[in-house]
Amino acid sequence: MTIERLNPFSFGSFGYYSQGVKIDLGTKTMIITAGQIALNDEGKPVAPGDFTKQTEFIFGRIQQVLEAAGATIDDVVKAQFFITDVSKYSEVSAVRNEHFANARPATTMMEISNTVADGCDVEIEVMAVIDN
pLDDT in tens, 52-66: 999 999 999 999 999
**How many angstroms separate the CA atoms of 24 and 27, rounded?**
8
**How many angstroms separate the CA atoms of 88 and 67, rounded?**
29
**How many angstroms separate the CA atoms of 81 and 55, rounded?**
10
For the segment 46-102, what is each residue's pLDDT rounded down to a tens digit? Answer: 999 999 999 999 999 999 999 999 999 999 999 999 999 999 999 999 999 999 999
User: What pTM, to 2 d.p., does this model score?
Assistant: 0.94
125, amino acid identity: E
Check: CB of residue 79 under 8 Å from CB of residue 126: yes
Check: CB of residue 66 under 8 Å from CB of residue 78: no
DSSP state letter for 34: P
Q: Which residues touch 52 (CB under 8 Å, ≥6 apart)?
A: 91, 92, 94, 95
Check: CB of residue 132 under 8 Å from CB of residue 24: yes
